[in-house]
Structure formats: structure tokens, C-alpha cells
Amino acid sequence: MARVLVVEDEEDILEVVSRYLKLDSHEVLTAKSLEEMYEVLEKGCVDLIVLDLLLPDGDAMDEIPSIKIMCPETFIIVLTALREDRNRILGLELGADDYVTKPFNPRELVARVRAVMRRKGSLEKVLTYKDMKLIVHERTLQIGEETISLSGKEFDILLLMFQNPKRVFSRYEILEYVWRGSERSDRIVDVYMSTLRKKIGKERLVTVRGVGYKLG
């Protein structure tokens, strides 16, 4: 069961989403504006926010970074009538974890909530490979007694690889996982791999010629 805040100004949608989430055993809080949302969050962060973008007192897209600073462990599913890819990509880049467009099937939304919460559970652990430890909930890497500073994208690349330590990942797979479909040249993967090698040692991150990258 998760503690979910639904931020939606359309009464009928708010009622339907709340009902389906409660039927799935979640605790549901509601807000109809950004002001009400912050009033709820000031009393305590929630596990997940279902966030409508177009609210009476502003564009919630602009608030995603602030929400993440205020509640860094809170997941966000954006709920909006906007369909353009640029809006979806921007929302994800700003820190949203998933994106659902109206009209939608409430069962699908509940399934998305379950999927995101499964991810939350999987993040509260330590992944180990040889002499390296990826402390997932802290988003840090340890090699022996040394803590390695990682950027967000560097951490996401290593998370993908630590979850599948024997697998070789193509540039395309890394690009899709880390940059989530936003338009980027696969050259950026090579740039990040080069930086990571300097931080963790080239023997720990190897190139499989003609295929991609894997942990060494």
C-alpha cells in the first residue's frame, strides 16, 4: 500500500482516480490546486503524486523540480491532456517518473502506480559486483573504502548494468533507459562511458567491440 496524493482540479476525474486507488488498497490524499498540493506536502511527503499539469493556479510542469527538492523520494506520475512528445519528454527530464494522457483507463493508471512503487521497493537496496557496491537509495558508488561521486546519468548507467552484470548493453539500450526516449545522439553514451572509466577504472567498464558495453 502506498500513500498517494492526487492533484487534479476536475472533480469527476479526481473522484474516479481516488476511488480506483483506494480499491487497490492505497491511502489517498487529494488536492485541486498547486497551493493545496504544497499544503499537503508541508505536513509530510507522500510515496507518489498523480499530478495533473494544468491547474487553476499554474502549470504544474514548472513545479516538478521544486517537488523533487522538497520530497526527493516521492515518485511523480504526470496526468495531462497534453499529447505532444515534447511535453512528455520535458516532464520526464524535469523529474517525473511516468506520464499518462487523458482520456485514460483508471485501471491502467493503477497499474502504472503499482509499477512505480515496485521500482521504489527495488531502489532500497545495495547492488554488489566484485569490489564495487552501488548503494541505490543513496545513489552512490563505493569501491573498497572510497566513495565515488556520480552524476545522475552516470548513476543510472551503472544501475542498469548492476541489475544485469553479465549482459552487454548496446548504445541504443543505454540511451533508451537513461535518457528515456528523449532525442539524443548515441555519441553521448560514449562520452559518459569515457567519464565513468576515468572515475571507476577502465578495467571495470569494458567495450565489447561492435556490440556495446558491460561491467568488467
Lowest mean pLDDT of 33-47, 127-141, 199-213, name the range.
127-141
In this structure, what CATH number is given to the domain that contains residue 132?
A: 1.10.10.10
Residue 133 and residue 94 share a domain: no
3-state DSSP assignment of residue 79: strand
Of the three residues 121, 138, 153, the one that is the final residue of a domain is: 121
Of the candidates 49, 39, 99, the residue with the CA atom closest to the CA atom of residue 75: 49
> Across residues 166-178, what is the average pLDDT?
85
Residues 8 and 112 both lie in one domain: yes
- Residue 195's pLDDT is 92
Q: How many domains does the chain have?
A: 2
Q: Mean of the pLDDT values across residues 151-180?
A: 84
Q: Is the pLDDT of residue 142 over 90?
A: yes
Q: Are 14 and 30 in contact (CB under 8 A)?
A: yes
**Cα distance between residue 73 and residue 76, in whole Å:** 10
Answer whether residue 152 shows pLDDT above 60: yes
Which range marks the domain in which residue 146 is found? 126-215
Helix (H) or strand (E) holding 31: strand 27-31
Could you tell me which of 69, 11, 63, 73 has the C-alpha nearest to residue 37? 63
CA distance 157 to 33: 36
| 29: CATH | 3.40.50.2300
Q: How confident is the model at residue 178, as a pLDDT?
A: 80
Q: Look at the block and give the residue holding cell 507522500.
A: 46
Q: Is the pLDDT of residue 24 over 90?
A: yes
Let me know whether 46 and 15 are in one domain: yes
Measured between alpha carbons, how far is 89 from 34 in angstroms, rounded to an integer? 22
Q: Look at residue 101 and tell me whether its pLDDT is greater than 90.
A: no
Same domain, residue pair 117 and 150: no
Lowest mean pLDDT among 42-46, 124-128, 142-146, 192-196: 124-128
Of 121, 137, 159, which residue is a domain's last? Answer: 121
- Do 26 and 111 belong together in one domain? yes
Helix (H, G, I), strand (E, B) or coil at 47: coil
pLDDT cut 90: percent of the chain above it: 41
| Mean local confidence (pLDDT), 26-47 | 94
pLDDT at 158: 92
- Statement to judge: residues 34 and 66 lie in one domain: yes
What is the maximal distance between C-alpha atoms in the chain? 57
Are residues 71 and 165 located together in one domain of the fold? no
- Do 198 and 96 reside in the same domain of the chain? no
* Alpha-carbon radius of gyration of the chain: 19
Residues 82 and 150 in one domain: no
